[in-house]
Structure 1
């Protein structure tokens, strides 16, 4: 294959790279922004560098222009040295305390809720700014100490004044951070943040800046068994699919090619397993394989860049942890179920991207692994209904949420009886039946069982839907 590339059509390869490159750049820039947003190092380092630059600039201004500081702020050199030394020591000590508080918060959130919700604590801008202010104040004071002349009549006024300003801002930031870190431990805020992130992605369906652009028109999937020998592109690394660009994948192959994506966003891939299959093999298979691999961003963890299902996974994990014997917090489980309902309602009403699309050049993209509404319903309720079965106080809100979703599907499709609508309603009805069966298997008290059966009857109270002819 390498020999083929050396002697292949370099103009064709350059054309494909030119078509794919903009989409890959967008994926990589989005991935970089996501990593930097979760970094506790990036913003503090920028603030630290800025404080060092400001320290040098103020020192030059003090030396050249502030020869008579009586009109501004005047400190003797000994007082300034003592003040700057105290501030520097206090800031570095406080930075250690803040890091300790952050570690404790992460441990509590991971144990009480789920390890997957920690990303919200890493992305907290207030915490990153506080760490940056503490480090910046420490570095500024250390540099300022080096510029204080003990033989002079006065200390550099602007430098000392800015050190005091940084100290005041740091104290305010500490108070704000303590307030936020205590509030962010509340489960309501955690599930609200996850739900809002998920709803933000759902609002872009079926196509949007993050979800992806439309590459063509929906078509019936072809019979790939009649297309001959395929070319299989394998994954080059292990990890979770964080992003992919359908436009880039299609642009990487010649016209009239059928491309089947063997994975989806949010799936785990193993190195050497099929990533993409295409019929027929292109004239330059190495270039197409390389460009397709670049169009799929794989990382060590799932993210919310394109992964709607990961939002449901986080909410479900919090609910499952609340229902565990170690935590035993049914109230939190109920709150999670209600939040899942607020996420599932717009999701079930949104249009999912077609799983077979043809562009204007005859290229067909097949995405059979993409989730549809029925699979989202299963992922939202399969585990929760199983572990909620012994708790009537949790099962009843769960059934009512399913009933609400069933009603919204019946009213939200404008009366159109489509196969997708029928499948979604059937999936909700199936979850109601399985929930009721699970409750009956627990040997619940007759009075509690009667309340659950009444809730199930209410959830199934919508008019029957028949499959369209």
Structure 2
């Protein structure tokens, strides 16, 4: 019998929380620069002590007079702190452009850029190193400390190289195709982890038909406001007694409001057990201020749709970007249709049953991927034609006899019919409607 005790799943919950914490650190513009700043302070202290007790012969080319060392350190310190201000300005401008032109939700791809964080850290590290080294220069000595000056020169050269690399990256990152590529890449990693894996969660039981629920249930309420970023199904199931049924009333990617229903448990346990179960279930649901890509495949579709809707707005009017959005969404949905999703009703060896009726199925992913952008594609013949063609391709995938994706096939057919209706409602002439109708008819054949 599988061990489903709270103690057995505690490490899994800790991993989820550690992953949420590391995800926040990765999007932080403070953490990595602070690490490099502290490293520079420690490196300067170490170099100072080494210079006091020994001379390194192979560093002789970096030997210089104290006056020259003071000038060099002063120049590097002033230049790096000035450049740091310029880099911050460039970063803020990039974030403003990305937010205004694409979507506020794509800003996370810029925050997560390691090169920008490294550059800021190197500039701050070089500034701190040079300022501390200035206080150690003895102008009456014959030579400046060699190792200390070598470190200052290396940091200055590394900062210059990082600036060039950052400018190259920031110009490329503004290209909408690169932004969509990163979003698709994150989604592909989650799709490859389906149905069970290190990121999406381990298997908790065998799929079953949802049981009939009768009698009073214990209602577990949400303890915080925010977006559901991760859920540990193992921890949720371990929170209840053997033979119980627990139904999650939320899903990854949903927004929770404090005190709204989070889960229900049948049969209703006693007061002490109820408190322990409520606390354990609350700990198993990771809630944060924003949606993330830790387990949320649907968030990738949301980000891509935001870019497409902005592209089809009258202010932007960029059908080409909308077409690429549809293609990127399809690149996510095709492998997703072929992948199995975790069962929405599962029973473990101890007779515990977990119900997750709000988890998205394949048909809902199709609807979320195309339903909104389809409403605005009708007035753009090329966008609508691309939509028809990718839906036709997905129909062939979902109609595979070995996949049993009947609900997804029905949703694809509904979306195809809706594309034609939207195009007619948009007032397209018959000459533009004919290719759409022909493509859809080939699908029906």
Tell me by how many angstroms 1:455 deviates.
Answer: 2.2
1:92 aligns with 2:114: no
Q: Deviations over 1:342-378 (max 9, x none)?
A: 1110011111111000000000000000000010011
Secondary structure class of the residue paired with 1:304: coil
TM-score (norm 2): 0.97
Unpaired stretches in structure 2, ≥5 consecutive residues: none
Query: Within 1, Cα distance between the matches of 2:96 and 2:444?
Result: 42
Residue 50 of structure 2 corresponds to: 61
Tell me by how many angstroms 1:71 deviates.
Answer: 3.4
Query: Conserved in 2, the CA contact under 8 Å of 1:230 and 1:278?
Result: yes
Query: Within 1, Cα distance between the matches of 2:374 and 2:444?
Result: 16
* Cα RMSD after superposing both structures: 1.4
Q: Deviations over 1:184-231 (max 9, x none)?
A: 10011111110111011001111111101110101111111x2x1110
Residue 243 of structure 2 corresponds to: 256
Query: Within 2, Cα distance between the matches of 1:219 and 1:450?
Result: 46
Query: Within 1, Cα distance between the matches of 2:425 and 2:414?
Result: 16
Residue 451 of structure 1 corresponds to: 435
Query: Within 1, Cα distance between the matches of 2:59 and 2:413?
Result: 80
Tell me by how many angstroms 1:328 deviates.
Answer: 0.7
1:101 aligns with 2:90: yes
Query: Conserved in 1, the CA contact under 8 Å of 2:56 and 2:147?
Result: no
User: Equivalent residues in 2 for 1:160-179 (5 A)?
Assistant: 160-179=149-168
Query: Within 1, Cα distance between the matches of 2:223 and 2:374?
Result: 38
Residue 142 of structure 1 corresponds to: 131
Residue 437 of structure 1 corresponds to: 421
Which of 358, 370, 391 aligns to 2:380? It is 391
Which of 198, 214, 234 aligns to 2:221? It is 234
1:74 aligns with 2:63: yes
Q: Deviations over 1:253-308 (max 9, x none)?
A: 11000000000000001001000100112331111100110000001110000000
Residue 311 of structure 2 corresponds to: 322
Which of 165, 178, 189 aligns to 2:178? It is 189
Query: Within 2, Cα distance between the matches of 1:287 and 1:280?
Result: 15
Tell me by how many angstroms 1:73 deviates.
Answer: 2.4
Which of 374, 377, 385 aligns to 2:366? It is 377
Query: Conserved in 2, the CA contact under 8 Å of 1:241 and 1:267?
Result: yes
Query: Within 2, Cα distance between the matches of 1:454 and 1:67?
Result: 79
Residue 358 of structure 1 corresponds to: 347
Query: Within 1, Cα distance between the matches of 2:319 and 2:384?
Result: 10
Query: Conserved in 2, the CA contact under 8 Å of 1:215 and 1:246?
Result: yes
Which of 245, 255, 258 aligns to 1:268? It is 255
- Shift in alpha-carbon separation, 1:309–1:70, aligned structure 2, 3 A: closer
User: Equivalent residues in 2 for 1:403-414 (5 A)?
Assistant: 403-410=392-399, 413=400
Q: Deviations over 1:56-92 (max 9, x none)?
A: 0000111110298983422111110111001000000
Which of 366, 389, 398 aligns to 1:400? It is 389
Query: Conserved in 1, the CA contact under 8 Å of 2:59 and 2:150?
Result: no
Residue 274 of structure 2 corresponds to: 285
Query: Within 1, Cα distance between the matches of 2:59 and 2:109?
Result: 48
Q: Deviations over 1:88-145 (max 9, x none)?
A: 0000000000000000000000111111111110000011100010000000000100
Query: Conserved in 2, the CA contact under 8 Å of 1:69 and 1:157?
Result: no
Tell me by how many angstroms 1:443 deviates.
Answer: 1.4
- Shift in alpha-carbon separation, 1:24–1:75, aligned structure 2, 3 A: same
- Shift in alpha-carbon separation, 1:430–1:88, aligned structure 2, 3 A: same
Query: Conserved in 2, the CA contact under 8 Å of 1:221 and 1:356?
Result: yes
Query: Within 1, Cα distance between the matches of 2:262 and 2:8?
Result: 20
Secondary structure class of the residue paired with 1:166: helix
- Shift in alpha-carbon separation, 1:441–1:185, aligned structure 2, 3 A: same
Q: Which stretch of the first structure deviates more once superposed, 157-166 or 275-284?
A: 275-284
Tell me by how many angstroms 1:426 deviates.
Answer: 0.8
TM-score (norm 1): 0.92
Query: Within 2, Cα distance between the matches of 1:23 and 1:253?
Result: 17
1:306 aligns with 2:290: no
Query: Conserved in 1, the CA contact under 8 Å of 2:338 and 2:403?
Result: no
Tell me by how many angstroms 1:441 deviates.
Answer: 1.1
Tell me by how many angstroms 1:417 deviates.
Answer: 7.5
Which of 30, 33, 39 aligns to 2:22? It is 33
Query: Conserved in 1, the CA contact under 8 Å of 2:6 and 2:235?
Result: no
